[in-house]
Chain A
Amino acid sequence: MRFVRWRKVLRDLVSHRFRTVLVVLSIATGIFAVGVVMGGRAILLREFNAEFTASVPLNADFFTMPFGDQIVRRARAYPGVAEAMGRHTATLRYRWPGSDAPRSLLVVAIKDFHDVTVQRIVPEDVRSWPPRRDEVVLERAALQVGAYKIGDTLVVETRTGEKKTLTVSGFAHDINAVPAQFIGAETGYVSFETLPDISEAESYNELLVAMKGTDLTQREASLLAEDIKRDVLGNNGIAVLGVYVPKPGSHFLGDIFKAVSLLLLALGLLSLLLSGFLVVNTVSALIAQQVRQIGIMKAIGGRASQVTWMYLGLVGIYGTLAVVIGVPSAAWAGKRFIQYAAGVLNFRVSSYVPPDWVTALEVGVGLVVPLLAAIVPIRLGTRTSVVRALTDTGVDSTSFGHGIVDRALGLLRGLPRPVALSLRNTFLRKGRLLLTLTTLSLASAVVMSVFSVQASINQTTDDLDAWWRYDAQIRYPQPTAQAATERVVASTPGVTGVESWIGALATLDRPDGTTMEGIGLLGVPYNTTFIAPTVLAGRWLQAGDTDAIVVNTDARQAEATLDVGQRVTLEIGGEARVVRVVGLIKGQLSGPALYMDRAALAPLLPQAGITQTLVKMASSDSAAQRSVLDVAENRLEESGYRVASTRTQAELRDQIASELGILVAFLVIMAVLLAAVGVIGLTGTMTINVIESTREIGVMRAIGARHGSIYRIFITEGLVVGLMSWAIGTAAAYPMSYGLTALLSGAIGLPLSYRFSWTGVSSWLGIIAVISVMASALPAFRASQVSVRDAIAYE
């Protein structure tokens, strides 16, 4: 090398291998955290949006009485319509050898699988495509709930009560299908020829419409859907049972995506900040160690600019090495993260390559942040007068003893001498202590906040149990006799109570002429003891409420006109009724719902009868409850009452938990990642602190300190710093976790029950204590192995 000074830079890297590894690891950890979080978020959104857009999502979904190709052609030709297709859907009960309990299958029959123009389906692992007669291709999310194999047979129960067999002929992917784990029903694709075999008519009963325009608003989509309903369907004698108009461009998991995305963004920014502090702290410590050498170089003719460039070069090499380690590691971990996310959220990934801006951000964290962080300490170091630099011991002998804290520590009496020394040592380098505490407190706060957000989610699902005062639910495909079904179910061994509800779909007529179709309206006895709703505003139903409804928070979120005190027009049973919103209750993670007194709703419906039976059971064991429910279902079938679905509340809770579980899983991943940043930060800081104290260790050993005494001093110092950061982090975690929980609540449209996680606080205390001890003991051990002479002469 032409210039010797650059040799010094390289030798410093090589000869202080321990320090080099620490610094590079600290910076690489920062890159890793930012890369995984920001890169993961960017890839997640890019890949999901690309696949969702390519699938041609629908803008209006019409559930109708049977229709044919003529209607589809008219819909396609309708102004404003980009694509339209018809299909036949039916939900059937089925049994599968892999499971004891009956399950639900959403059968989707398509006439021409090569001409799917809306909500495209991609075959993935199929023996035959399109599926042949009596074959079913399952949506791949089914694999998340069961070990289905090609060749398995599903015994489905048709509308007429017959049992038919469908053979699984493969798996396909449909990004628009609700994953099985979220709805407790698998989606299966069959050919039209199969329909008669399962007692379904060979006609369409669902019209899917994709509209023109990239910036379509929901109002425009609703208005066009109204026109299509009237002109294409109604005027051609096709009765419409319900219309679903999603917010254009939004997926049914949009809220979860929004929440995950927001969470990742918030945590990504926090990790960026954390990484910044980590790097600043590490580089400052590094430069502090080099002050004496800077002095020597200046004494033999080195100019400040030359020395500055040398150390910037050193930091640049550290950064480059960290980038070389951090970027590929982040890409690797990011890929695993996306694979996990793609599995649970059911989307395909065509590329795991992060966008350029993420790579630029990683390089920025690895190179620019360390260089910026180094500028101030390097300038301070090179500006230090030579005489001061040459006498530098890392500690200004006048730096301790003047502040309030120093004086307070000086007043502490009765402490063992090594403990007093540790406490005072902690406050010796106040600038470093401040940086270290900021980094570790931030990491502590973020990790504990993540614990609290997770606890809040768990609290929210726990609250469901408080709302549900029943154990299972039986749904019927059409209105059924209340007294007879109640008698059959109530006489089933293990059943302790029954209550019947009426479920209907209502249409909300908005003042602006648009409608909101297919809102769930539940007829519930006003004095029910089967639920305990949490009233957020107004009141619950009461006797004599003939025109009163109570709305849940999901409905309020979806429709602003459903405010307490408002009068709204609902189409119930084909008739418009003006009702009063008398109360707002907390939603139960099962979508928008309106509640009306059963006695008031029953006369408004064209067909008498109840649609669901709620069951209380003696046993609280979920498997026992499932057995009781299966017996009840069989008894109902034997008595001539067809059952559409049965579900224990434990099963529903599991489904909801699996949906929120995505958030919990993401949070856990983030907590682990940020904890790793914190732990490596703590280790690096502690280690550098001890390395800097090598000379002091030499002095202490020279005056008779044994290894044990030295360990105790540094371990106590490490523990003090660790505990201080834990205490500050705990104080900061409360507002931070409250904010994160509120952010999530807003994103998923559900008021989460906030709970501060003391488990998280105590767990982090344990982790930080162990890490503090380990991070201090190892370098103290290394330092104590150095001879007294070398320790005192340590540069």
Chain B
Amino acid sequence: MSEIIAPGSPEGTLLQLREVVKVYDSGDVPFTALKGIDLDVHTGEFVGIIGKSGSGKTTLINMITGIDHPTSGQIIIDGTPVHRLGENDLARWRGRTIGVVFQFFQLLPTLTVLENIVLPMDFCHMWAPKERVERAMNLLEQVELADQANKLPAALSGGQQQRAAIARALANDPPILAADEPTGNLDSKTADAVFSLFERLVEHHKTIIMVTHDNDMANRVRRALHVSDGEIVEERVHRPRVGA
């Protein structure tokens, strides 16, 4: 069902990481979290980043989303040299290019579910103000939360909050979705529902990069990158199941 291949750099990539290094200086001894990562991701890929706690997988996805800056190396996403962007340009770029999904959902507690989804459109001036609510409702319908639109996040279950967070990540129709342990805080049934949602999005040509330490989830992604000690030590490509 799967084969091990060496990391490569095929043409027409959506995302390219070259020699990305991240060193943290917070302790007495500098800690190298990423040791020269090279990675290419194509449009429509569903990539899983797998590794143990402290392996560097979250640091890697933070480099991709621009949430954190590399110490050295290049990150080029959809033609944009992300590593050269300042915080302000990064925020604008991220809002339009990458939808971020967090393990703890990170919905703003004082906004309703609907408002949480409208907020990225508001920040990035996407769609006319009148159309934003309509679009947000469409997204909520896609994640089957239309009936929860006007509730505050605290009134939703963990799975519902995560689906709302995915709807928010899709608000500006970004080509890439980056998710850090999106099912880590959910029970297996809810996690399965969220994963199915990702799969549907990939079918609609979204590129998804997901960090997980769950081997079952890792086996369901198209391409799995195994990270250990700040390096990609293994890459598996899963062929689609026949009839799937």
A interface with B by C-beta (< 8 Å): 2-5, 7-8, 11-12, 14-15, 293, 296-306, 383, 385-387, 390, 398, 793, 795
Are B100 and A4 within 8 A (Cβ)? no
A4 with B118: CB separation less than 8 A: yes
Question: Are A5's CB and B119's CB within 8 A?
Answer: yes
Contact among A4, A299, A301 for B67, CB-based, below 8 A:
A299
Top 5 nearest A-B pairs (CB, nearest first) are A301-B95, A11-B110, A387-B68, A386-B67, A301-B123
Q: Decide: B96 and A301 in contact? CB cutoff 8 A.
A: yes
B205 at the interface (CB under 8 A from A): no
Q: Flag B100-123 by CB within 8 Å of A: 1 or 0 each.
A: 101010101111000100111011
The one of B100, B111, B129 that contacts A2, using a Cβ cutoff of 8 Å: B129
A390 close to B119 (CB less than 8 A): no
Residues B110 and A15 in contact, CB atoms below 8 Å apart: yes
Determine how close the nearest CB of chain B comes to the CB of A396; give it in whole angstroms.
9
B149 CB within 8 Å of chain A:
no
Shortest Cβ distance from residue B97 to the other chain A in the assembled complex, whole angstroms: 9
B residues near A387, Cβ cutoff 8 Å = 62, 67-68
Is A301 a contact partner of B87 (Cβ separation < 8 A)?
no
Min CB distance B243 to A, Å, is 38
User: Would you give the shortest CB distance from A301 to chain B, in whole angstroms?
Assistant: 2
| Residue among A8, A293, A299, A306 making CB contact with B100, cutoff 8 Å | A299
Residues of A within 8 A of B95 (CB): 300-302
Residues in A whose Cβ lies below 8 Å from that of B119: 4-5, 8, 297, 300, 302
Complex formed: what's the CA distance from A7 to B129 in Å?
A: 14
Q: Whole-angstrom distance from the CB of B174 to the nearest CB of chain A? A: 9
Contacts of B62 in A (CB 8 A): 387
Verify A303–B120 contact, CB threshold 8 A: no
A5-B119, A302-B95, A387-B68 are known contacts. Are A297 and B108 too (CB-CB below 8 A)?
Answer: yes
Is B236 located at the chain interface by the 8 A CB criterion? no
Whether B92 pairs with A296 at a CB distance below 8 angstroms is no
In the complex, A78 Cα to B124 Cα: how many Å?
Answer: 83
**A12 contact set on B, CB distance < 8 A:** 110
27 A-B pairs in the complex with CB atoms less than 8 angstroms apart: A2-B129, A4-B111, A4-B115, A4-B119, A4-B122, A8-B108, A8-B115, A14-B110, A293-B108, A296-B106, A297-B108, A298-B87, A300-B95, A300-B123, A300-B168, A300-B171, A301-B91, A301-B172, A303-B88, A306-B123, A383-B87, A385-B68, A386-B67, A390-B67, A390-B102, A398-B27, A793-B104
Complex Cα gap A742–B190 (Å): 75
Interface flag for B94 (CB, 8 Å): yes
Scan residues 54-108 of chain B and give those whose CB is less than 8 A from a CB of chain A.
Answer: 62, 65-69, 87-88, 91-92, 94-96, 99-100, 102, 104, 106, 108
Complexed CA–CA distance, A5 and B118 (Å): 9
Determine how close the nearest CB of chain A comes to the CB of B119; give it in whole angstroms.
5
A-B interface contact total, Cβ < 8 Å: 89
Q: Which of B214-228 contact A (CB under 8 A)?
A: none
Report B-chain residues with C-beta under 8 Å of the C-beta of A398. Answer: 26-27
SS class, residues of chain B in contact with chain A: helix
* B110 engages A303 (CB within 8 Å): no
- Whether the pair A5, B122 counts as a contact (CB closer than 8 A) is yes
Contact, CB under 8 Å: B91 / A302 = yes
Report chain B residues within 8 Å CB of A302.
91, 95, 119, 123
The CA-CA distance from A793 to B102 in the complex, in Å, is 14
What 14 new A-B contacts, CB under 8 Å, besides A7-B111, A302-B91, A302-B95? A4-B118, A5-B123, A299-B100, A300-B95, A300-B119, A300-B123, A300-B169, A300-B171, A301-B96, A301-B124, A386-B68, A387-B67, A398-B26, A795-B109
Distance from B88 Cβ to chain A, minimum over Cβ atoms (Å) = 5
Interface size of B by CB at 8 A reads 37
Q: Which of B65, B92, B111 contacts A299 (CB 8 A)?
A: B65
Instruction: For B171, list chain A residues within 8 Å (CB).
Output: 300
Task: Please tell me if the beta carbons of B87 and A300 are within 8 angstroms of each other in the complex.
Answer: no
Contacts of A297 in B (CB 8 A): 108, 119, 123
CB <8 Å contact, B94 and A301: yes
For B88, give its contact among A8, A15, A304, A793 (CB under 8 Å).
A304
Chain A residues contacting B65 (CB-CB under 8 Å) are 299
Separation of A14 and B169 alpha carbons in the complex (Å): 27
Contact partner, B123, options A11, A303, A390, Cβ 8 Å: A303
A636 to B91, CA, bound (A): 98
Closest to B124 in A: A301
Residues of A contacting B118 in the complex (Cβ-Cβ under 8 angstroms) = 4
Q: What distance in Å separates the Cβ of A600 from its nearest Cβ neighbour in chain B?
A: 88
Cα distance A387–B118 when bound, in Å?
23
A304, B92: Cα distance in complex, Å: 10
Q: Which residue of A lies closest to B99 (CB)?
A: A300
For the complex, give the distance between the alpha carbons of A2 and B132 in Å: 10
Select A300's contact among B27, B68, B100, B129, beta carbons within 8 Å. Answer: B100
> Are A299 and B26 within 8 A (Cβ)?
no
Establish whether residues B88 and A301, one from each chain, have CB atoms under 8 Å apart when the complex forms: no
Cα A2 to Cα B115 with chains together (Å): 11
Nearest CB to that of A385 among chain B residues?
Answer: B68
* Distance A305 CA – B62 CA, assembled complex (angstroms): 22
- Closest chain-B Cβ to A604's Cβ sits at a distance in Å of 89
Which chain B residue lies CB-closest to A305? B88
Contact across chains for A11 and B100 when beta carbons are under 8 A apart: no
Q: Are A303 and B92 closer than 8 Å at their CB atoms?
A: yes
Residues of A within 8 A of B100 (CB): 299-300
- Report the bound CA distance from A386 to B108 in whole Å: 15
Known interface pairs A296-B108, A301-B96, A385-B67; A3-B122 also in contact (CB < 8 Å): yes
How far is it, in angstroms, between the C-alpha of A383 and the C-alpha of B90 when the chains are bound?
A: 12
Contact of A3 with B108 at beta-carbon distance under 8 Å, contacts A301-B172, A305-B88 already known: no
- State A242–B95 Cα separation when bound (angstroms): 89
